[in-house]
Amino acid sequence: MGDRVSNMVRPIIAVVILLVAFNAALVGAQESVSFKNFNSFKQVVPGVDFYASNRQEVTPYEKPVADGISRLKSLLGDNLPKGAIFICSTLAQKDSVFEPKVLKSGYSWTLTAITPQARMQEQLARMKSQMGTQISPEMLDRIKSRMSDTTSQTAVNAVVQQVAYAVLQTSLNKELQYRSSRVDDVKKSPLPDWLDIGIVAYASGVMTNLSYLQQHVDETFPLDDVLSMSRPFVGSSAADQGRGGGMGRGGNGNSGGSPEGMPAGGFSADTGGMPAGGFGGNTGGMPAGGFGGNTGGMPAGGFGGAPDSGRSGGTPSVRSGGASGGGRGSGNFGASGGQRGGMQRNLSKDEQDRNLFDGQASTFFAYLVDKIGLEKVKKLIKEVQEDKSCYEYLTQADVFGNGYAKVEDDWTSWVKTLQAPPGSRNPGSF
C-alpha cells in the first residue's frame, strides 16, 4: 500500500518541481534581460519594467503609471500581467525595439513611448525626405521653438491609457496574441466596449472627451444603447489626424479619444488633485474610490429606455437630433460656448459618434463608481465576463433596481457639474 501511494505522489512532486523551476527561470530571464541602446530600470513600478537612456526619462511616467496599476488592481485583482515600457529619446532607440523579442523575454505586453527629442528627430527626418534639401537654420529654429524639452502631461496620460488597455487585453484574454499596434482595439477584450473605455478612463484618471460631451450632451446616445453597442468605427486616416500624445505609432498613439489632460492621480474637477484612487470636486467630500463633480454631490434626475440585452447592437438611436437628424452640424466645436484650443477642423459623423460614445462610456463608469461603489462595479465586470448583460446587472434590486429608470437624467445632470481642467482640448483641435 505504501509503495502504491509513493508511486502516485512522485509524479505530482516532479510536476511541482518543474513548475517552480520554470517560474524561477522566467524571473531570472527577466532580471538578466537587456536590450541594446537601453538601460533597464526594473520594478520602478510593481509589474512594469522601464527601459530608457537614463532614470530622468522614466521619472515623468513613474507615479502616473503606478497610480494606474494600483487602480487596475482595485478592479481586476493583484495578479496582473507584467509588461515593459521603452522610452525612446532617439530614432535609433525606437528602431531597435523588436516586440517579439521583448515578449519572448517573459513580458506579457510592451509599449514604446517617444520623447519630444525623438519626436523632433522624426519630424526633421520626414521633412528632409519630402523636401529633398537641407532644412534652413531659420526653419530648424522654428521647429525647435515649438517642441517642448519636457514630456507633457497629455503624453504621460496617453501612456497610462495604453498601459491600461494592454493590461486589460492580456489579463482577461489569456489566448490573446498581443500586438502593441492593436492595443487600443476594444474588440480584443471580452468586455463590452463601453466597459473597456470606462476602465481605462478610471485607471488613467482622464475622462475622455469631457468638454465635447458637455457641449453636445443633448445629442448623446441613449445609455441603454451605449451599454450594448459596439464602439463607433473611425477609419485610420481620420483617427490619425486627431491623434496626439507621446506614444510611438506602433499602436501607441492616442487611445481613440482626446485626453482632457487631467492631473495624474485621479479624475479631478477644479482642484487639480485628489486622493489616490479617487475622484473629487471642490468640496473634497468624496470617499476614496469615488467620483465627484464641482458640487460634491449628485443632482436628482430621471432616465428610462428599453432594455437591450445584446452585447453588440445595430444602429443606435440618438437623442435630440444627433447624427441622423443633423443635430451635430459640421462637427465644429464651440457652437454653444466658443471654440477652444485654437483652430478647429470639421469632424466626420463617425468621429462625432465616437467622441460622444467615449465621453459617455468614461463618465458613466465614473458615475457608477460614485453611485453604487467600487465593489459593485467590480462585480459588474465579473458578471459581464460570464455573459450577463449590463442592463440585467444594473437593474438588480441591490444595485439600482426600479431606480434604474431615473439613472440617465441623473447621469446627464451629473456630467454638467464636472469641470474640465484649464488647457483641455476638444477632439479635432489643432
Q: What is the pLDDT along the chain (430 residues), one digit of tens a residue?
A: 555 545 665 666 655 555 544 454 444 444 557 788 899 999 899 999 999 999 999 999 999 999 999 999 999 999 999 999 999 999 999 999 999 999 999 999 999 999 988 888 787 777 777 776 677 777 777 766 666 666 788 889 999 999 999 999 999 988 888 999 888 899 889 999 999 999 999 999 988 899 999 999 999 999 999 999 999 998 865 555 444 434 433 333 334 444 443 333 344 333 333 333 344 333 333 334 344 333 333 333 333 333 333 334 444 555 544 443 344 444 443 333 333 444 556 889 999 999 999 999 999 999 999 999 999 999 999 999 998 999 999 999 999 999 999 999 999 999 999 987 655 555 544 3
Cell numbers of 358, please?
A: 467615449
* Order of all β-strands in the sheet with 83-88: 39-45, 48-52, 83-88, 109-114
pLDDT at 388: 92
Q: Which residues contact 284 (CB under 8 A, 6 or more apart)?
A: 271, 274, 296
In angstroms, the CA 110 to CA 422 distance is: 32
Phi-psi label, residue 132: left if phi above 0, alpha if psi -120 to 50, beta otherwise: left
Question: How far apart, in Å, are the Cα atoms of 21 and each of 4, 55, 106, 108, 417?
Answer: 27, 32, 14, 19, 55
Q: What are phi and psi of 132, to 5 degrees?
A: 75, 10
pTM value > 0.85: no
d(CA 200, CA 244): 17
Backbone angles phi and psi of 245, in degrees to 5: 90, -170
* Cα separation, 298 vs 295, whole angstroms: 8
Rg, Å, the chain Cα set: 23
- Which amino acid, 192? P
Cα distances (angstroms) measured from residue 241 to each of 173, 175, 238, 244, 328? 30, 33, 5, 9, 20
User: Do 228 and 389 contact (CB within 8 A), yes or no?
Assistant: yes
Angle CA 211–212–216, to nearest 5: 120
Strand partners, 114: 88
**The three grid cell numbers given for residue 79, joined into one nine-digit string:** 495578479
Domain ranges of the chain: 1-32, 35-151, 158-417
SS3 410: helix
Within a 10 A sphere around the Cβ of 182, how many other Cβ atoms?
14
Coil, helix or strand for 280?
strand
Helix (H) or strand (E) holding 364, with range, is helix 349-372
Q: Which residue has the cell 518543474?
A: 18
185 and 191 Cβ atoms separated by less than 8 Å: no
- Quick check: helix, strand or coil at residue 180? helix
